[in-house]
């Protein structure tokens, strides 16, 4: 009789301890997230450059704590170390697949990354490591809150021809993206889903979204879609499904730890997969340096036209970054550097150009050689012509015409005359 009465008491004690720990993690994560936003607003380094990292890791902790409080289950991040490490390790690899595809698609680029290569790569990998955990935790929070957990629909039988059709659709989409990237790039966000889900369906049915459909259970699919939108993947919520399937395929290969269910990894296979993943990551990061990274955070010494003496005078006077120079008045800068207002105004205008939409110091120098010295000079330029001239001046593959178009539009907004209040 005694042991039967002790078990419920022990369970209550465990649950109470879990809830206390989750409450503490929730408070710490909220405080850390608020601090990150405050430091960003104050422009205190290194938070502006590393803000994604400073913001998203507390967000992961917050989601994990919220899920634990809602359903009294053990923490995912702190209760299942193998799963957490697996998610964090494979998440950058999953995202780097899309980065590699972007070498052809040229749909996005990065600006104002850290100047030091080691710091830049570390920041990239730490940032990409949050993607899979965010998707998994968002779905877990929704499930813990009872979102689409009780609804059952009519089973949708999955036939063999459907599995073949899924893979053929993925192959066709891949060909279209490769041949017509400008028009077909949205298809990129479904290729992994349709290509790999048939494999997951056969090898890891407890992780398969097709199996969910077959059982009439739409809840996990719906929660992944909602979570994808909620964590910032607006415009392609199907990416959350795709990321789930890509990670699930690694679990089916027994090189990653599954979030649902227990399945030991194959040690030798995991080592081989890890070596291949590291090689792929290095190759893709090198490719990003060439194709995707547009600019690094500029320093005062990088701004064209500023001599070492001028930089030293500005820093001594409290102007330590191009952003601070761009927001200063000509009279203040003239007083610091000992030149006239004209020279001070020129320095300010150059800094403003470097800070505009991530143009950076390298492109600012190239623009100056082409007669573009001020932000407003961009409004007179043609995007296609200017991008080609800048590429010729720098010897690189960037900026694209689309990127220069972003500069020009920002310049037009910055240089448009302010209308009287009665005309607004």
Is residue 190 a contact partner of residue 242, using CB atoms and an 8 Å limit? yes
Cα 45 versus chain centre, distance:
20
Nearest by Cα to 259 from 401, 91, 412 = 91
Measured in degrees and rounded to the nearest 5, phi and psi for residue 373 equal -110, -20
Residue 240: strand, helix, or coil = helix
Q: Say what the pLDDT of residue 230 is.
A: 77
CA dihedral 272, 273, 278, 279 (to 10 degrees): 70
Q: Tokens standing for 196?
A: 């790999």
Angle at 12 between CA 7 and CA 14, to 5 degrees: 95
Q: Say what the pLDDT of residue 279 is.
A: 98
- Helix extents (H) in 231-296: 238-252, 267-291
Q: Say what the pLDDT of residue 120 is.
A: 96
The predicted model scores a pTM of 0.90
Is residue 192 a contact partner of residue 242, using CB atoms and an 8 Å limit? yes
Q: Say what the pLDDT of residue 18 is.
A: 79
Cα 229 versus chain centre, distance:
14
The residues, ordered by sequence, that sit 6+ positions from 185 with a Cβ below 8 Å of its Cβ are 105, 107, 177
Report how far residue 170's alpha carbon sits from residue 225's, in angstroms, rounded to the nearest whole number. 19
Q: Say what the pLDDT of residue 14 is.
A: 66
Residues of the chain with pLDDT under 50: 1-5, 419-424
DSSP 8-state secondary structure symbol assigned to residue 114: -
Q: Say what the pLDDT of residue 201 is.
A: 98
Q: Say what the pLDDT of residue 1 is.
A: 43
Residue 234: strand, helix, or coil = coil
Report how far residue 240's alpha carbon sits from residue 246's, in angstroms, rounded to the nearest whole number. 10
Residue 305: strand, helix, or coil = coil
Angle at 130 between CA 278 and CA 211, to 5 degrees: 90
Q: Say what the pLDDT of residue 19 is.
A: 84
Report how far residue 229's alpha carbon sits from residue 232's, in angstroms, rounded to the nearest whole number. 6
Q: Say what the pLDDT of residue 200 is.
A: 98
Residue whose tokens read 């570390």: 122
């Amino acid at each position: 009789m005694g042991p039967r009465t002790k078990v419920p008491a022990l369970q209550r004690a465990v649950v109470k301890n879990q809830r206390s720990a989750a409450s503490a993690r929730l408070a710490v994560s909220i405080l850390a997230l608020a601090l990150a936003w405050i430091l960003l607003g104050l422009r205190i380094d290194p938070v502006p450059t590393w803000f994604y990292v400073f913001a998203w890791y507390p967000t992961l902790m917050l989601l994990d704590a919220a899920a634990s409080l809602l359903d009294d289950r053990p923490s995912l991040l702190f209760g299942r170390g193998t799963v957490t490490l697996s998610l964090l390790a494979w998440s950058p690899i999953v995202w780097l697949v899309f980065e590699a595809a972007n070498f052809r698609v040229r749909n996005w680029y990065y600006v104002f990354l850290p100047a030091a290569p080691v710091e830049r790569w570390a920041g990239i990998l730490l940032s990409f490591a949050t993607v899979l955990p965010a998707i998994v935790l968002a779905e877990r929070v929704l499930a813990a809150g009872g979102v689409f957990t009780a609804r059952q629909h009519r089973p949708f039988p999955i036939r063999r021809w459907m599995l073949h059709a899924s893979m053929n659709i993925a192959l066709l989409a891949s060909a279209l993206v490769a041949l017509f990237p400008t028009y077909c790039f949205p298809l990129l966000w479904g290729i992994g889903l349709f290509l790999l889900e048939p494999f997951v369906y056969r090898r890891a049915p407890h992780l398969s979204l097709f199996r969910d459909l077959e059982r009439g259970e739409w809840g996990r699919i719906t929660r992944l879609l909602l979570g994808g939108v909620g964590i910032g993947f607006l415009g392609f919520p199907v990416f959350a499904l795709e990321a789930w399937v890509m990670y699930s395929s690694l679990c089916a290969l027994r090189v990653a730890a599954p979030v649902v269910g227990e399945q030991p990894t194959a040690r030798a296979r995991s080592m081989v997969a890890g070596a291949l993943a590291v090689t792929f990551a290095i190759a893709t990061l090198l490719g990003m340096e060439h194709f995707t990274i547009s600019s690094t955070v500029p320093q005062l010494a990088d701004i064209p036209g500023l001599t070492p003496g001028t930089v030293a005078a500005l820093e001594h006077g409290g102007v330590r970054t191009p952003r601070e120079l761009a927001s200063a008045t000509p009279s203040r800068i003239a007083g610091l550097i000992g030149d006239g207002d004209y020279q001070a105004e020129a320095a300010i205008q150059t800094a403003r150009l470097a800070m505009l939409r991530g143009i950076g110091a390298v492109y600012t120098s190239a623009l100056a050689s082409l007669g573009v010295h001020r932000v407003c000079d961009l409004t007179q330029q043609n995007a296609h012509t200017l991008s080609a001239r800048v590429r010729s001046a720098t010897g690189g593959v960037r900026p694209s015409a689309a990127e220069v178009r972003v500069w020009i539009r920002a310049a037009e907004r910055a240089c448009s005359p302010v209308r009287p209040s009665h005309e607004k």
